[in-house]
Chain A
């Protein structure tokens, strides 16, 4: 089995805020991340796929196609956006690193051909904080 990773990045605003809770409870749980006027991050995204390299091309999957797929289904929707407000596939979700990684998985997984499996979405919110999702 071969693993192939494409690294991308996007910049976005967000806040951690549960609308079902009071402002006070949000501030207790999420601290400064609950700032009602948002804050933001430079997100780094690692998309890892797995499969068998094709005998004719030597490719597991054409990385240019993977890059265009990530651009169309993820980056065009997230980059320079407000994750809580501007993104159709995050509507009604808490925009934690965990949930954004999961949502990116759900965006990309259906786009891949049958012989290529999505292995991992790794999403850095800061250089010191990241979440990984392996689909299980």
Chain B
């Protein structure tokens, strides 16, 4: 059977700041610039979840996209939407919430929930012009 890729787009809005607690303020400011603002800033994050597999002969589905949508809502959006990533989430208590780290966290969450036979890849847009993808092919 030939494999097909299916995608689900979601979005969430969150505040964050980039900060390394092992560095002093000056170094944080040097490295992270305005992203280090102690009062936070924020983004409209766009999330694209890609699932690849052979369509099931009975349903024609690679994965039920309604089920995928519910999975993302329950396990990702509920945690991150309208939240402060640094303050309100367990995942980023001790992890800098860069787009790179956020995409890895989201991938790890979803990987546990989706059939291991299916290939999973997550793309995260922090702005229209800055986006990341994990894992790398």
Q: Do A and B come from one complex?
A: yes
Q: B134: which A residues are within 8 A, CB to CB?
A: none
Q: How many contacts between A and B, using CB within 8 angstroms?
A: 76
Task: Summarize A's interface: helix, strand, loop or mixed.
Answer: strand
- Taken residue by residue from 34 to 46, chain A's Cβ proximity to chain B (1 for < 8 Å, 0 otherwise) reads as 0101111110000
The answer to whether B87 touches A40, judged by C-beta atoms less than 8 angstroms apart, is: no
Query: In the complex, which range does the number of interface residues on chain B fall in?
Result: 20 to 34
B15, B35, B127, B128: which contacts A39 (Cβ < 8 A)? B15
- Inter-chain CA distance A82–B42, complex, in Å, is 8
- With A39-B14, A40-B15 known as contacts, the answer to whether A80 contacts B35 (CB < 8 A) is yes
Interface centre among B81, B82, B83 (most CB of A within 10 A): B82
| Total interface residues in chain A, CB < 8 Å | 22
Question: In the complex, which residue of chain B has the Cβ closest to the Cβ of A30?
Answer: B82
The answer to whether B37 touches A82, judged by C-beta atoms less than 8 angstroms apart, is: yes
- With A11-B127, A37-B88, A40-B15 known as contacts, the answer to whether A82 contacts B82 (CB < 8 A) is no
A9, A33, A35, A81: which contacts B39 (Cβ < 8 A)? A81
